[in-house]
Structure 1
């Protein structure tokens, strides 16, 4: 399940997860549905037809991920949710350092999955219901290689600045936040937040792989 979650997250995110092109200037802030559509359109332009170039230049691939996802993803809020109760005892500096290390690790861990992205793979479904500033869900379908459809939902919240930002990706009912919170909580219990952050900074995606393997073993 973790392997499936990770491979789909690479297409969907980081999830969520778990960056996004620079937002288009509008009279009013873009709605969550418009943000997700912008993501899908930006992936079409940035990745489709450029797979070979990006495969040979890892740093450029990460730059593409940052450009497409980061402006629309609330990594600080997401990292607090991933830390769970550990966020309460962490200093602002510790939370900020963890957020950067975790995001970078996610980007490297799932970045190459974007190389399998092809035009039209993400279908943004019509939004239903009312916008909720604390949690609004945008539903999409990801077209897999065999033609099957996978449900991928994005959770958004409205920032103090009035912009909508994603903070979670839910794949077939499995939350990116919940998935990694369990792993992070176990790692911090064994060592410490600072030790985990340092592992993420120095080992990056290998640290995530180790965490996933440990949880799968348990």
Structure 2
């Protein structure tokens, strides 16, 4: 009986140890993916601000949009961003309406983040001060920015972990202002004025004009 009990206890310890080890490895992998993503985005931001300063004014917007499309857009959490943008209005929508809005809003977000990038042209971006603050499902990475004749500031990437365990960007804080919140205010006002269907119609037209 004692031998059976010891064997059972040993098996339980081994199972718990393997489970704890796997959980630890999973946490390390997600943390590593977040660190790599934060470093990559920060480096791309630094390089883009340097290149923007060298471009003619009439070429900056297009270049910034190309950078955001290539480097940031693949890592955006469009679904979560859409839910935050719609707020309480999402309750009155069906799944198809929400899905279409999520698809259409990507170009709006790309344009918004591209404008943020242009604002920091020629800034001194300090990657050495990159600070990553990770919670259970949310995280943020802040980089220090010094721009001539401007006060010191930070640009903060805000991340959310998706159902596959991958970290994705859902907002950018520039000069203490949430860009997603600014966009939400304008969209909510439009929904109140013209309704959701008309808003989606305008987003479709805007997307078609950008193609």
Q: Which of 128, 135, 139 pairs up with 1:136?
A: 139
The aligned residue for residue 199 of structure 2 is 196
Q: Which moved more, 1:109-118 or 1:142-151?
A: 109-118
State the shift of 1:160 in Å: 1.1
Query: 1:62/1:139 Cα in 2 relative to 1: closer, same or farther (>3 Å)?
Result: closer
Q: Which of 9, 31, 36 pairs up with 2:38?
A: 36
Q: TM-score, normalised by structure 1?
A: 0.65
Query: 1:75/1:145 Cα in 2 relative to 1: closer, same or farther (>3 Å)?
Result: farther
- 2:168 aligned with 1:173: no
Query: 1:135/1:41 Cα in 2 relative to 1: closer, same or farther (>3 Å)?
Result: same
Three-state SS of the structure 2 residue aligned to 1:140 is strand
The aligned residue for residue 16 of structure 1 is none
Q: Which has the larger radius of gyration?
A: 2
The aligned residue for residue 131 of structure 2 is 127
Query: 1:54/1:110 Cα in 2 relative to 1: closer, same or farther (>3 Å)?
Result: farther
The aligned residue for residue 95 of structure 1 is 98
Query: 1:54/1:96 Cα in 2 relative to 1: closer, same or farther (>3 Å)?
Result: farther
Looking at secondary structure, tell me which structure has more strand per residue. 2
State the shift of 1:47 in Å: 6.2
Aligned pairs, number: 178
TM alignment of 1:1-218, pairs within 5 A: 28-29=29-30, 30-45=32-47, 48-49=50-51, 52=55, 55-56=58-59, 62-109=65-112, 111=114, 114-115=117-118, 117-118=121-122, 120-121=124-125, 123=127, 125-127=129-131, 131-203=134-206
Q: Give distance in 2, aligned partners of 1:169 and 1:57.
A: 20
Q: Give distance in 2, aligned partners of 1:168 and 1:44.
A: 18
Cα RMSD of the aligned pairs, angstroms, is 3.3
Please list the CA deviations of residues 78-109 of structure 1 after superposition, one character each: whole Å capped at 9, or x if unmatched: 11101101122222332232223322123335
Q: Give distance in 2, aligned partners of 1:109 and 1:156.
A: 17
Which structure is higher in RCO with an 8 Å CA cutoff and minimum separation 6? 1
5+ residue gaps, structure 2:
1-27
Looking at secondary structure, tell me which structure has more helix per residue. 2
Query: 1:61/1:173 Cα in 2 relative to 1: closer, same or farther (>3 Å)?
Result: closer
Q: TM-score, normalised by structure 2?
A: 0.67
The aligned residue for residue 25 of structure 2 is none
Q: Give distance in 2, aligned partners of 1:48 and 1:38.
A: 16
CA contact (8 A) 1:43 1:68 kept: no
Q: Give distance in 2, aligned partners of 1:114 and 1:38.
A: 15
